[in-house]
Amino acid sequence: MNSFIAFIMGPMVWISAIIFVGGLLFKGISIIQSVRQKEPYIFSYMTVKHSLRSMGAWLVPFFPKSTRLRPVYYAISYLFHILLFVVPLFLASHIVLINEAFQVSWPALNDGLADWLTLLVIAALIFFAVRRQMVPEITYLTSAIDYLLILLVLLPFVTGFLAYHQWFAYRWMVVAHVLSGELMLIIIPFSRFSHMLTAPLTRAYMGSEFGNVRHARDW
């Protein structure tokens, strides 16, 4: 058992991190390459100024009109995306492990606060799932994979929360936590989670078209 734990907390972390970073890197490079090959016009229209203008406008909460039309969903979604990164990266337990592996460290969130934020992430994910059931236009678009994606994000947070509180079978909870976290990282480049890479690109292109050619706002 200990050797299994040593594996999933050692080499497996490396493997999933490499697949995550490498996969996104590969995806990014192949996008650029195929743009060069098949759609070089995209570079003719992209400008840094208008890309940033568009991204900036869409990063300001409730600035774009469509975000004001669905304020609850937007607010939860906005918060969720921030917490999705902040909670794991600034969790004391994670920083301790990183510190022991790489001798780097940064300030951690207070444990109690992190606990509540984790609950917020979980609540947001449950909200997303319920929303898929309740709002007719979302239901219409939803397929099983959308729930699967929610589950994939939900798992590391739920298991992490339970492990922190040492409820249920602690050892198995940590194993589940580590594995589900790694699974999520591995899946990112191969699923729609890769919107963490492609969304800024599509945003930048649309922002450039609107700013550079259409001289209109795209928010």
Window 21 to 80, contacts with another protein (CB under 8 A) = 31, 34-35, 37-39, 41-42, 44-45, 54, 58, 64-67, 69-70, 73-74, 77
In whole angstroms, what is the distance from residue 219 CA to residue 217 CA?
Answer: 6
The reply to whether 106 sits near another protein by the rule CB under 8 A is no
Within 8 A by CB and 6+ apart from 183, the residues are: 16, 152, 155
Q: Which stretch binds another protein (CB under 8 A): 15-23, 82-90, 179-187, 188-196?
A: 188-196
Sign of CA dihedral 212, 215, 218, 219: positive
Buried b (16+ CB within 10 A) or exposed e, 14-25: eebeebbeebbe
The reply to whether 146 sits near another protein by the rule CB under 8 A is yes
Q: Which of 135, 152, 179, 183: binder of another protein (CB under 8 A)?
A: 135
In whole angstroms, what is the distance from residue 82 CA to residue 109 CA?
Answer: 14
Q: Which of 29, 71, 89, 99: binder of another protein (CB under 8 A)?
A: 99
Q: Which of 3, 48, 102, 104: binder of another protein (CB under 8 A)?
A: 3
- When the beta carbons of 89 and 134 are compared against another protein, the nearer one is 134
In whole angstroms, what is the distance from residue 172 CA to residue 163 CA?
Answer: 9
The reply to whether 85 sits near another protein by the rule CB under 8 A is no
The reply to whether 17 sits near another protein by the rule CB under 8 A is no
Q: Which stretch binds another protein (CB under 8 A): 18-26, 82-90, 129-137, 179-187?
A: 129-137
The answer to whether 125 and 150 have CB atoms below 8 angstroms apart is yes
The reply to whether 218 sits near another protein by the rule CB under 8 A is yes
Q: Which stretch binds another protein (CB under 8 A): 11-19, 82-90, 180-188, 209-217?
A: 209-217
- The label of the residue with tokens 């001289």 reads 215
Q: Which stretch binds another protein (CB under 8 A): 16-24, 82-90, 91-99, 179-187?
A: 91-99
Distances in whole angstroms, Cα of residue 166 to Cα of each of 25, 110, 153, 161, 170: 37, 18, 20, 9, 5
Return the structure tokens found at 92.
């004391």
Within 8 A by CB and 6+ apart from 46, the residues are: 204, 205, 208
- When the beta carbons of 39 and 49 are compared against another protein, the nearer one is 39
